[in-house]
Structures are given as C-alpha cells and as structure tokens.
Chain A
Amino acid sequence: MNTECIDSRNGIERHQISLLVFFIPLVFKMSMLPSQLSNVSGVDALTAIFLLISTEILHLTLVYAAVKLGGVSMLAKRIGRVATFIIVSPLIFVALIKTLVFGIEIINYVDFYLFYNTTSWGIKVVFLLTLFYVACGGPRTFGRLAELSLLFLPFIVFLGLIFGRLELNFEYVLPFYADGFYPSINGAQSFVFWAFDFSPLIFFKLNSEKKPGRRKVPFVAIGALIVTITLVSLYALLFANYGLSAVIVDNAFARLAAFNVVTTQVGSIEWPSVVLWLLSATLCLGIKVYAASRTMQLVKVPPRISTGIIMVVVGALMFYVVKDISVAMELAKSWVRFVVFGCEILVTFVVLFVLLWLKIKEERRVGQKESANEAR
C-alpha cells in the first residue's frame, strides 16, 4: 500500500488541471446558488457572482504557484511530514464541511427534484460509496474524468441549441451594479462558502512535460478565463430568462442546459445535463476528500483507510446531524463560512510562502556553492 503523501505515478497533466479549473468553480455555483444569490442580491446577483469568481481566480493563482513549486509533496520532503501536516491539516475540516454541505445539496436535488420516489438513505449510501471510489482514484482519475465530462459538453450545447427556447429579457439583469456596492458585496460575502475551492489542488503533482522544447500553452490561465466568462454569461442567461422567478430554480445547470420543451413528447431532455452535473459534482467533492485523505497520509494513515474514515464521518453527519438541505444551508451561511474561507486562504498562503522561502534558500545555497567553487 502506498503511504507516500503524493503518489509519484499518479500525476496530472497541465491541460487536465485547466479542465478542473473550469469545473471546480462552475459545478456548485450552477446548482442552488443562483436562486440563493438572487434572493439576497436581486438584480445585483450578477455583480456578486462576478466578485466571487474573480476573487476565486486570484486564489487560484496562489494555488497554482504552489503546485508549480512542488506543492505539498515538496513541502513534506523539505520540512518533514509532521510539520506539513500541521500546516495543511485545516483542509481536513474544510473537506469535511464542504463535502457535507455540497453532498446534501446533491442528495437534495436528486431526492426532491429529480427522483423523489427513491429512498433517501439509498441515495446517501450510493453517493458516499461512489464518492469513496472516486476519491481513491487520485489526480489521474480526476483529470481523465474531467476530460470525459468535457466530451459531454458539446452534446449538451447541441441539445440546448436544438431544443432550447430562450425568451431572454435583459432588463432583468441590467443595469449592472444597479443598487450600488452593498447588495453585491453582501451577496458575495453571504455565499463565500461556495467559492475558494481550489486549495485541494496543492496536493497534485504535475506530470513533467513530454516535449520540453515546445512552447507552453497557458492552459490554466485559459481555463480560468473561460470559466469566468462562462459563469457570468450563464448567470446572465439564467436571470434574463427567469427574471425574479430565478429564486425557485432548483438546479441552474440542468435548467439552463435544456428548457424542457420536449418533455411532453419523449420525456425530459435535461437528462444529459443532469448526468454531467452529477458527474462533475461527485468529481469536485472527490477532489476535496482526496486532499483530506492525503493530509492524513502525512501522519501515515493509509489512503484507503483515511478516505474511508472521512466518508464514515461525512455519512454519520449526513444521517444524524445535517439531515436536510435547510440545515446544510444554515450551516453554509453561518459564521462557519468565514472559518472555511479563512482555512482555505491561510493554508494556501502558508504553503506558498514556505515553498518560496525554501526555493530562495536553495538558490542562495547553490549560488554560494558555485562562488566557492569559482574562488577555488
């Protein structure tokens, strides 16, 4: 059993990271958040989501810088496992809370909107088992699943173009920044829990370039730009289409992907988008659980056992404490959101700072050695 904190064979390509950069901020912001945000910020929900995604992209630059410097594996190598564990251990708490809330969001959508005559406990058990399996896969699995999800997208866009009947009214979203600064910032800070999900990426190991001489494509920057534009555009489309009734949209992704125009003929056409959303949502939570499991591995807990422990804890909380979406939403909007936000930002900052410090120290050491050699 591999107990290394990063499995060296289980790396990820840069273009795969860029796909994760696309899916991670998109998935849970395109489910219940639009309705919640619309409820709090009204017409300024669009500005609020722009604020959220912009700051999240800033966070991504820190995370990616840390990944490029070697991430957690380099940190563990240089300062030791226990010290690294102390630095990144808050991510276990973050993973637990976010998996719990977002997990309940998935289950709620499945249980109450999608298949309301399926047993709730069955949905929870199967969700937890699948999540366990996904999380055990590691970065290679995440990267390839993201690629599979990407292949779904043209199909969904095609269906949307064929069947979608958009009746857009941009008066619902215009003018931007209508009520000044307060509603936007209020919306953004109220739902900060739905942002800053990139920190688990610091556990990823980038595969070395196969053709070193080649000009590098800035995949991650492109991914970040595309997700920002996509997210804001999808929100604009949603609000322009639904107007104030956006507050009752159960899952924005599924509602936007198809407009149920063929429901009366052969059934609901939103299915491919529901499948994609479920796949991406499980993938994003899998990444969080993976990060928590790798953190526990720093103190020599084998990966499958640590993943199992996390799943058992999340499962217990799901079954006995945070049983439904209202409790989960309360939790996500309470002071806990600032703790989670703080943990994500702080861990990223500290990891990056220590890695930079180590790099400068190493460069100095090499420089001194070279000058000593020259002096000789």
Chain B
Amino acid sequence: MIVIDKTKKKISEAFFGTEDLVLRELDAGGVRMMFCFLDGLTDRQQLEASVIRPIVKSGEGVGSDIKSLENTIIAEFAVEVKNTFAAAMSAIASGDCLLVVDGAADYFVLPVKKPAIRAVTEPPTSSVLKGPREGFVEDVKTNMILLRRRLATPKLVFQSITAGRLTSTSVVLAYLEGTVNKTVLAEVQKRLQSIDVDGIVDSSYISNYLETRPYSIFKQIGSQEKPDIVVAKLLEGRVALLVDGSPIVLTVPFILMEDFQSSEDYYNRTVRTSMLRIIRLMALFFALLLPAIAVALQQHQFQMLPLKLLMTIISSVDGIPFSPLIEMVLALVLFEILNEASIRMPRYVGMAMSVVGAIVLGETAVKAGILSSLSVLVTALSAIGLYVIPDEVGTFGILRMFYVLMAGILGLYGVVMAGLATAVYLVNFESFGCPYLAPLAPIVWEDMQDAIIKKSQKDLKMRPQIFGSPNRRRQK
C-alpha cells in the first residue's frame, strides 16, 4: 500500500534532491495523489489538459485502481502500471510523469514525454544533387516513422531493447520479416543482449559492441544518415539499428564495396553510375598510393622516371632539407592537423582556416624551402581522392601513412608487399559472416551486377547473394 508522504520523501531521496524534480500534490474528491516529473522533459500542457483537469472536474474523486484512472482521464495514451519503486523511478528519469495515488497498490506512469526534437533536414555528411533530402534525427521514434513511411508493409519489424544502466538508451532493431537473414538477426540480438555498460551515448558505442575486431582500422558496421539508404539495405535483407539520441543508423552486415557506392548511384543513369564507381576506385588509388609512390620514386627508384619528369622533380626538391620520406610525412601530418582543425572549428572561422591552410601554410612552406611543391601537390591530390570516399577517410588515412613508411624504407617493393599484406588481411575479414571484399574476393558473379559496373534497376532481379536472404527474388 502506497503512502504519499512516505513515497514523496523516498522519491526526493532517490533523486538526491535535484532541483528539476517536480512533486505536485492534488486532492481529488478526498483521494490524495501526487504527480512527479522532471521539469522540462514532460509536456506540462498535455498533463494539465489530459490528466489534471479531468481528475479535478470529476469531483467525486478517483479510485486508486487503473480502471478508474483510465475512465477519468482523457484516454489519449495508455497508462502504464509499475509495481516496483525502482521501475517507477526509471520512468521519471526517462521523462514520463509518475502518478502516485494514496492507498494504491501500484505506481501509474503517464507517458507525457516532450523530447526536444530537431527538424528532419538534409544531413550535412550525405548531401545529394538528386534524390531524397531527408535525414535521420536524434529521436528514435521520428526515425522509426521515417522508415515506416517508406516501407508500408507489416513485414517491417521493430524490436526494442534498452541498453546502458544509467542512460537507459532505447536501441531499436529494424528488419524485414521474410527477407532478413535470420542467422545475422540472431547474432545481432545476441551481441546486443550482452551489452552491460553504464551508458550508451551514441550509436557508435553500439557498433563497438557489435564488432568482432574492435582494434581493426577497418569498420565492420555500416552507418547511414539517410532513410532511403537504410530502406535499400533493409530490402537487401540486412538489419538496421536505430539508437535513441543518434542520427546515425547502423546497418549489418557491412562490406567494403558499400562505401564505394552512393545513394545517388541508384537515382542516376546506369552508365553514369558505373563510370562514377570506376572514378571512385581511381580516386582510391590516388588517395592511398600516390604519396607512397612519390616517396619511393624520389628516394629509391628514381631511375624508373623518364628523364624530363625526373629533372622537373629534381628542380622542385632542390634545397629541401628533408628526405622525401620525412617531407611527405610532414605534409601528410600537416594535412591531418588542418583537417582536424577545420572539422572542430566554428563555421564562421572555417573560411579563415582554409585560407591559412591552403595559401599561408602551403605556399609559404614551399617558398621557405621546407616542403617541395611536389609533396604539396601529391598531398592535395591524395586528399581530394580520399574525400571521394568520405566514409573511409579515417581508414584510408592510416593505410596511406603505412604505405608511405613502407615506401620510404623499401621503395616500391615495400609498397607492393604492404599492399599484399593488406589484401591478405582483408580477404580474411568478415562482417557477420559476410566476406568483407565480396563480391570481388570471393567472386560472387551474381552480386557483380551492382558492384563496380551497375546494371539497370530493371535488371537487378535478385537480392545480393552474400547477405543470405531467404527470399532472393526482388522482381520477376
């Protein structure tokens, strides 16, 4: 039996006297009751109009059971019953209003949360010329609606679990029943259940728990900010994870080829798409290998260069006090610093930053004879190449440095061997049982239709084989 005075003291103590805890008592026809909520998190207007006013108006008083309560208040929402004090406190902490009725056996939770929701806008990291401009927001409910609106089928299933002992973050699994690979789904569920941590702040926390190789430089979980991309992945038989408080939706399994594809690939003409994908691969070559090849050719294999090109390079590096390796490492580190600063810096000084970076640092360094114009050019080309595949900037940035070091030590042979070692590493790499380099290694001919060369949407009759969907046919 709940006693108001005693419970009031207990709640205050449970929240350590925090100032935003509101405890409002009410006498409704002789029945004492108390509303407890955290200021700012609860929709006061809704509470007033839908709960408090009807209770006051009812005059005769409200019973201390759920039926009587539901009959009195405007049934805009379902009243939940909590029979333990701890569960009731979690409900307050999550933003709901707790109704404590004197003499009642249970606590009543009124779902009147008022989360601060950002408007659905185009995500800054995935802007497109053609195609939907909606992006996910931090509120998981809104994100679920964005998916549900595009997948108007009862086969779209959302499964929610709570992770984080202190944050009680809602993690929602989304998949298409009948299309999803059940083994992957079970594995995701198993790994989610095993999370036992005090707080989940963002979806990247969850991805750390889903990965099998947390120290690898290669990511094993896909991340998307746009509902159209996530829907496309769900249609392939994959699983999506929406995390409350994060606009990034995770998708599994993940393969490397995904990052060479863009949502616009599916909205553009097929031939143009295939051409762009080849260009992205070439950009990868520039990003990863150009600095290493430049170092190797300057430091070890200069005899491989044609005479005219060699003379141009010699005149550009003349007077530089560093070896090609040190010079390139310096240029790349400077680029990484500029890159980091431009991301962290407030937008209104970003312009100044680019001026400082590009003109002052680049040009002055060349004029001062610290860096050669060749190394600045190579770094710039490599950086442009790197940003053609924006989701892999971190990974390829590290690999690039590794190749440069190998080039400095052993020349082109070092680069080739480093590339071979990377290939060996990647062919063994898997994400939820899917080979990371598929459909290239292992070669999956059926999936090649949407790898580098993309077939027309009309001809993509089957779902990708590697994701193991039990229902492979998409169209007749």
* Closest chain B residue, CB of each to CB of A135: B424
* Closest chain B residue, CB of each to CB of A117: B300
Task: Known A115-B411, A263-B306; judge A275-B419 contact (CB<8 A).
Answer: yes
Return 29 A-B CB contacts under 8 Å, by A number. Answer: A15-B443, A16-B442, A114-B412, A115-B300, A115-B410, A115-B411, A119-B410, A122-B409, A126-B410, A126-B417, A127-B417, A137-B424, A140-B428, A141-B427, A141-B428, A143-B442, A144-B428, A144-B442, A147-B440, A147-B441, A147-B442, A147-B443, A148-B423, A150-B443, A151-B441, A266-B306, A266-B309, A267-B304, A268-B304
Q: Is B413 an interface residue (CB 8 A)?
A: yes
User: Taking chain A's interface residues, is the majority helix, strand, or loop, or is none over half, making it mixed?
Assistant: helix
Looking at the assembled complex, report how far the CB atom of A172 sits from the nearest CB atom of chain B, in whole angstroms.
Answer: 30
Residue contact B413 to A123, C-beta cutoff 8 Å: yes
Residue contact A134 to B416, C-beta cutoff 8 Å: no
Q: Is B305 an interface residue (CB 8 A)?
A: yes
Digitize A140-171: 1 where CB-to-B-CB distance is under 8 Å, 0 elsewhere: 11011101101100000000000000000000
Residue contact A118 to B421, C-beta cutoff 8 Å: no
Looking at the assembled complex, report how far the CB atom of A191 sits from the nearest CB atom of chain B, in whole angstroms.
Answer: 27
Q: Is A93 an interface residue (CB 8 A)?
A: no
* Closest chain B residue, CB of each to CB of A286: B424
Residue contact A144 to B437, C-beta cutoff 8 Å: yes
Of the residues B413, B420, B435, B443, contact of A118 by C-beta under 8 Å: B413
- How many residues on the B side are at the interface (Cβ–Cβ under 8 A)? 28
* Closest chain A residue, CB of each to CB of B444: A147
Give Cα A117–Cα B297 distance, bound, in whole angstroms. Answer: 11
Known contacts A118-B410, A134-B420, A143-B442, then 8 further A-B pairs from the complex at CB < 8 Å, ordered by chain A residue: A13-B442, A122-B414, A126-B414, A137-B428, A148-B423, A148-B441, A263-B306, A267-B306
Digitize B290-315: 1 where CB-to-A-CB distance is under 8 Å, 0 elsewhere: 00000000001101111001000000
Give Cα A282–Cα B424 distance, bound, in whole angstroms. Answer: 11
Give Cα A315–Cα B392 distance, bound, in whole angstroms. Answer: 37
Task: Known A115-B411, A137-B428, A147-B441; judge A279-B301 contact (CB<8 A).
Answer: no
Looking at the assembled complex, report how far the CB atom of B409 sits from the nearest CB atom of chain A, in whole angstroms.
Answer: 7
Q: What 7 A-B pairs are tightest by C-beta distance, nearest first? A: A144-B427, A144-B441, A147-B441, A147-B443, A148-B441, A130-B417, A118-B411
Q: Is A265 an interface residue (CB 8 A)?
A: yes
In this complex, the member of B303, B309, B427, B428 whose beta carbon has the largest number of chain A beta carbons within 10 angstroms is B427
User: Which positions 228-273 of chain A face chain B at CB distance < 8 Å?
Assistant: 263-268
Residue contact B413 to A110, C-beta cutoff 8 Å: yes
Looking at the assembled complex, report how far the CB atom of B419 sits from the nearest CB atom of chain A, in whole angstroms.
Answer: 7
Looking at the assembled complex, report how far the CB atom of B14 sits from the nearest CB atom of chain A, in whole angstroms.
Answer: 50
Q: Is A278 an interface residue (CB 8 A)?
A: yes
Residue contact A148 to B306, C-beta cutoff 8 Å: no
Q: Is A133 an interface residue (CB 8 A)?
A: yes
Looking at the assembled complex, report how far the CB atom of B297 sits from the nearest CB atom of chain A, in whole angstroms.
Answer: 8
Digitize B422-438: 1 where CB-to-A-CB distance is under 8 Å, 0 elsewhere: 01100110000001010
* Closest chain B residue, CB of each to CB of A119: B410
Chain A: interface residue count, which band?
Answer: 35 or more
In the complex, chain A residues whose CB is within 8 Å of the CB of B437: 144, 148
In the complex, chain B residues whose CB is within 8 Å of the CB of A123: 410, 413
Of the residues A122, A140, A144, contact of B410 by C-beta under 8 Å: A122
Residue contact B424 to A134, C-beta cutoff 8 Å: yes
Give Cα A278–Cα B423 distance, bound, in whole angstroms. Answer: 13
A interface residues, Cβ below 8 angstroms from B:
13, 15-16, 110, 114-115, 117-119, 122-123, 126-127, 130, 133-134, 137, 140-141, 143-145, 147-148, 150-151, 263-268, 274-275, 278-279, 282
In the complex, chain B residues whose CB is within 8 Å of the CB of A110: 413
Digitize B272-301: 1 where CB-to-A-CB distance is under 8 Å, 0 elsewhere: 000000000000000000000000000011
Residue contact B420 to A130, C-beta cutoff 8 Å: yes
Looking at the assembled complex, report how far the CB atom of A28 sits from the nearest CB atom of chain B, in whole angstroms.
Answer: 17
Give Cα A118–Cα B435 distance, bound, in whole angstroms. Answer: 36
Give Cα A134–Cα B419 distance, bound, in whole angstroms. Answer: 12
Residue contact A145 to B424, C-beta cutoff 8 Å: yes
Of the residues A117, A137, A141, A150, contact of B301 by C-beta under 8 Å: A117
In the complex, chain B residues whose CB is within 8 Å of the CB of A145: 423-424, 427, 441
In the complex, chain A residues whose CB is within 8 Å of the CB of B306: 263-267
In the complex, chain A residues whose CB is within 8 Å of the CB of B412: 114-115
In the complex, chain B residues whose CB is within 8 Å of the CB of A141: 424, 427-428
Give Cα A51–Cα B133 distance, bound, in whole angstroms. Answer: 65
In the complex, chain A residues whose CB is within 8 Å of the CB of B305: 267
Residue contact A133 to B424, C-beta cutoff 8 Å: yes
In the complex, chain A residues whose CB is within 8 Å of the CB of B428: 137, 140-141, 144
Give Cα A77–Cα B88 distance, bound, in whole angstroms. Answer: 61
Looking at the assembled complex, report how far the CB atom of A108 sits from the nearest CB atom of chain B, in whole angstroms.
Answer: 12
In the complex, chain A residues whose CB is within 8 Å of the CB of B309: 266-267
Looking at the assembled complex, report how far the CB atom of B81 sits from the nearest CB atom of chain A, in whole angstroms.
Answer: 50
Task: Known A145-B427, A151-B440, A263-B306; judge A282-B420 contact (CB<8 A).
Answer: yes
Looking at the assembled complex, report how far the CB atom of A267 sits from the nearest CB atom of chain B, in whole angstroms.
Answer: 6
Give Cα A77–Cα B271 distance, bound, in whole angstroms. Answer: 54
Give Cα A144–Cα B306 distance, bound, in whole angstroms. Answer: 36
Residue contact A133 to B427, C-beta cutoff 8 Å: no
In the complex, chain A residues whose CB is within 8 Å of the CB of B442: 13, 16, 143-144, 147
Give Cα A150–Cα B427 distance, bound, in whole angstroms. Answer: 14
Residue contact B301 to A148, C-beta cutoff 8 Å: no
In this complex, the member of B409, B428, B435 whose beta carbon has the largest number of chain A beta carbons within 10 angstroms is B428
* Closest chain A residue, CB of each to CB of B445: A15
Give Cα A117–Cα B412 distance, bound, in whole angstroms. Answer: 11
